[in-house]
Amino acid sequence: MRTEVDAEAAGPPLEPGDFVQLPVPVIQQLSHWDCGLACSRMVLRYLGQLDDAEFERALQELRLTRSIWTIDLAYLMRRFGVRHRFCTQTLGVDKGYKNQSFYRKHFDTEETRVNQLFAQAKTCKVLVEKCRVSMQDIQAHLAQGHVAIVLVNSGVLHCDLCSSPPKYCCFAPSGPRCFCRSPDYQGHFIVLRGYSRAAGCVFYNNPAYADRVCSASVSNFEEARTSYGTDEDILFVYGDS
């Protein structure tokens, strides 16, 4: 499930796991709020488990509307019988986010719902752990042919391959301002699909686009995924469900 690139092979001989690029299909989000659902579609299609009608039924059953949290995506994976592991720094809603502009609009209505999902996770066989994940952990996961959905601050994440702003940005008006380096947190889900140790980068699908694979330096990716507001959320998904 791993593919090598000729440009990489032209350099020093690659050791196993030095370069990973998984064939995860790119699916664009439909609006400014549904990046997490688009990422879930990508993952399920990669696993050969995406049925559009069934996916819509799952959204209705789980009552997933315009406010999507990482715990929602974990429940969605469970709904499709996909083995997963949701790692986060906060088991519930961080009350400190109430005054953050990104969270303010939905905070009061979502706090109880999201906290209940965390409380019921074990009973519902949704695997949630409070733990810190290293870049080495992420690379080891990808090297096994597995993918991950990561919550990042889109105002920090910078694709070295993209020259134009994406069409959509989560919970913000569409337009060039969405992915600029803003001091305000802007949560966005992406799908990690690989990395290059030699180039010091990660490869990912950004649901804001429909036609490309993105790449960011490891240091930039780490900054974006550990920004205040993300809780360092990462949903590991396994292909051997």
Number of domains within the chain: 1
- In one letter, which amino acid is 56? E
Residue 50 domain flag: yes
pLDDT in tens, the chain (241 residues): 434 434 344 445 556 579 999 999 999 998 888 999 999 999 999 999 999 999 999 999 998 887 899 999 999 999 999 999 999 999 888 665 556 655 555 666 788 889 999 999 999 999 999 999 999 999 999 999 999 999 999 989 999 988 655 544 443 433 333 344 455 788 999 999 999 999 999 999 999 998 899 999 999 999 999 999 899 999 999 987 6
Residue 12 domain flag: no
> Which of 62, 42, 75, 29 lies closest to 148, judged by CA?
42
Return the structure tokens found at 118: 């965390």
Q: In whole angstroms, what is the distance from residue 182 CA to residue 104 CA? A: 17
Residue 14 domain flag: no
Residue partners of 51: CB distance under 8 A and separation at least 6: none
Give residue-wise pLDDT tens across range 72-107: 999 999 999 999 999 999 988 866 555 665 555 566
Give residue-wise pLDDT tens across range 182-195: 557 889 999 999 99
Q: What is the CATH number of the domain that holds 35?
A: 3.90.70.10
Domain with 51 in it: 23-169+185-237
Residue 57 domain flag: yes
Residue 128 domain flag: yes
Residue partners of 3: CB distance under 8 A and separation at least 6: 21, 22, 23
> Cα–Cα distances in Å, from 240 out to 48, 82, 190?
12, 8, 21
Residue 221 domain flag: yes
Residue 78 domain flag: yes
Residue partners of 133: CB distance under 8 A and separation at least 6: 87, 232, 234
In the chain, pLDDT over 70 holds for what percent of residues? 78
